[in-house]
């Protein structure tokens, strides 16, 4: 009791002392100025430690150190440049074309002199793509791309795992294609490299990001090819695409906005883990479901959609896919079938590390020996 009384007296004396100080000389604690401000990159790491340690268990420490380490890149050869010369120069750097090497070794061998049975149609990879990487454990860097003799850039540097959704889409000659969230443009460029697009709609809601996409196309694709392929760049709200152009496209890529895990750990600029963007981050799975639903509604019955993110989060990956399929079944009476992509693990096991326990789709996880990703991708066929 005496202690409580003593404390109360001291508090009163403090207040009394404060009141004797003229108002203009009083110091008030400015919380916004004095409280520690954690950078968004640190908030991202805290979030990942809390959620991904549960999701990945013993794998998380390895993934974590890889995410915090320097990322590996691939060099996507520009087929509109002198691609044979460019490929030879990249080979001289001791890089290898992981796409064609994998597809060549993955072709079924004939047995007892008989012709080998062709793989299922769902196994088909988009053709004509050439992407060079350095071997596992080799941390060499590619030199910056330069302008080639044909007036376009020789190759495009990208996370090589970002090519997997385009490969999984399985483009066929004459396809009508939609890239629903196209910027900054690496996957759009890869779609054009296949030579399969009868026409290509490349959309991004952000006009500034769509501007970056236009710069990529102008740097890598000749004007006559852009015209001939009828490349259309728009800045529409992708969530409404099913209403705008429903049942039209043979192939749709839905590479949605996400937490961009690696970027969030390294860059303060445009970091979604800033405190001011908390609500936006929490609403991401809803946005992703709306975009995937719009992409499926824009697809012809019998057409294919690939959904992808550069996040490890199952809430943004498998849960979005499963939730969207249920939504379309209940609200639109549309049946969607998830394609089996486990053959991708076997095809590209020499280049990437895959998470073995995805419920649907495939996930490339960062690994110090193969520091690509994260990249989640899931292929679906709209049945009705």
Question: Has 181 been labeled as part of a binding site?
Answer: yes
Question: Has 358 been labeled as part of a binding site?
Answer: no
Report the C-alpha gap between 228 and 221 in whole angstroms: 11
Cβ atoms of residues 177 and 195 within 8 Å = no
Question: Has 204 been labeled as part of a binding site?
Answer: yes
Reported confidence tier of residue 20, pLDDT bands at 50, 70, 90: very low
Alpha-carbon torsion (32, 38, 41, 44), positive or negative: negative
Question: Has 255 been labeled as part of a binding site?
Answer: yes
Give me the helix-helix angle, 60-67 and 40-56, nearest 10°: 150
| Domains of the chain listed by start with CATH number | 160-382 (3.40.50.150)
**pLDDT over 70 (residue 49):** yes
Tell me the mean pLDDT in the region 62-74. Answer: 97
Active site residue 310: yes
Q: How far is CA 232 from CA 19, 119, 197, 212, 273, in A?
A: 69, 34, 12, 14, 33
Reported confidence tier of residue 104, pLDDT bands at 50, 70, 90: confident
Reported confidence tier of residue 247, pLDDT bands at 50, 70, 90: very high
Per-residue pLDDT tens over the stretch 107-141: 655 656 665 555 666 578 999 999 999 999 999 99
pTM, two decimal places? 0.89
Mean pLDDT of the chain: 90
User: Residue length, the chain?
Assistant: 384
CB atoms within 10 A of CB 263: 17
What is the structure's pLDDT at 116?
A: 55
Marked catalytic residue, from 125, 197, 310, 358: 310
What is the structure's pLDDT at 109?
A: 58
Question: Has 11 been labeled as part of a binding site?
Answer: no
Cβ atoms of residues 193 and 155 within 8 Å = no
Report the C-alpha gap between 183 and 174 in whole angstroms: 23
What is the structure's pLDDT at 119?
A: 61
Tell me the mean pLDDT in the region 1-19. Answer: 44
**Largest Cα span, the chain:** 103
Q: Which two tokens stand for residue 164?
A: 């997997």
Report the C-alpha gap between 233 and 217 in whole angstroms: 10
What is the structure's pLDDT at 367?
A: 97
Report the C-alpha gap between 298 and 305 in whole angstroms: 10
Question: Has 186 been labeled as part of a binding site?
Answer: yes
């Amino acid at each position: 009791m005496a202690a409580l009384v003593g404390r109360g007296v001291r508090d009163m004396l403090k207040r009394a002392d404060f009141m004797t100080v003229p108002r203009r000389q009083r110091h008030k604690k400015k919380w916004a100025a004095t409280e520690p401000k954690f950078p968004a990159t640190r908030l991202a790491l805290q979030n990942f430690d809390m959620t991904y340690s549960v999701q990945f268990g013993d794998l998380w420490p390895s993934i974590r150190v890889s995410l915090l380490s320097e990322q590996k890149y691939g060099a996507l050869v520009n087929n509109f440049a002198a691609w044979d010369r460019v490929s030879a120069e990249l080979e001289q750097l001791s890089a290898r074309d992981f796409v064609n090497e994998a597809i060549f070794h993955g072709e079924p061998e004939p047995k007892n002199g008989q012709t080998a049975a062709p793989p299922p149609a769902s196994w088909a990879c988009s053709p004509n793509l050439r992407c060079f990487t350095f071997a596992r454990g080799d941390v060499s860097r590619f030199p910056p791309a330069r302008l080639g003799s044909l007036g376009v850039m020789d190759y495009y540097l990208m996370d090589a795992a970002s090519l997997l959704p385009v490969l999984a889409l399985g483009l066929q000659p004459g396809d009508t294609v939609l890239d629903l969230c196209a910027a900054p443009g690496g996957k759009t460029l890869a779609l054009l490299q296949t030579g399969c697009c009868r026409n290509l709609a490349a959309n991004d809601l952000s006009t500034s990001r769509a501007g970056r996409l236009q710069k990529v196309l102008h740097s890598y694709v000749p004007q006559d090819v852009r015209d001939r392929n009828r490349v259309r760049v728009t800045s529409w709200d992708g969530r409404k695409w099913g209403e705008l152009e429903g049942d039209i496209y043979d192939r749709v890529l839905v590479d949605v906005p996400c937490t961009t895990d690696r970027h969030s750990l390294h860059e303060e600029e445009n970091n979604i883990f800033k405190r001011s963007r908390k609500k936006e981050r929490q609403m991401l799975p809803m946005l992703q479901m709306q975009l995937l639903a719009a992409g499926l509604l824009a697809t012809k019955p019998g057409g294919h959609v690939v959904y992808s993110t550069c996040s490890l989060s199952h809430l943004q990956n498998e849960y979005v896919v499963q939730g969207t399929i249920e939504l379309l079944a209940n609200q639109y009476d549309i049946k969607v079938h998830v394609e089996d992509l486990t053959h991708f693990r076997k095809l590209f096991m020499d280049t990437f590390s895959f998470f073995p326990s995805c419920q649907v789709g495939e996930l490339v996880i960062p690994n110090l020996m193969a520091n690509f990703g994260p990249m989640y991708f899931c292929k679906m066929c709209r049945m009705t």
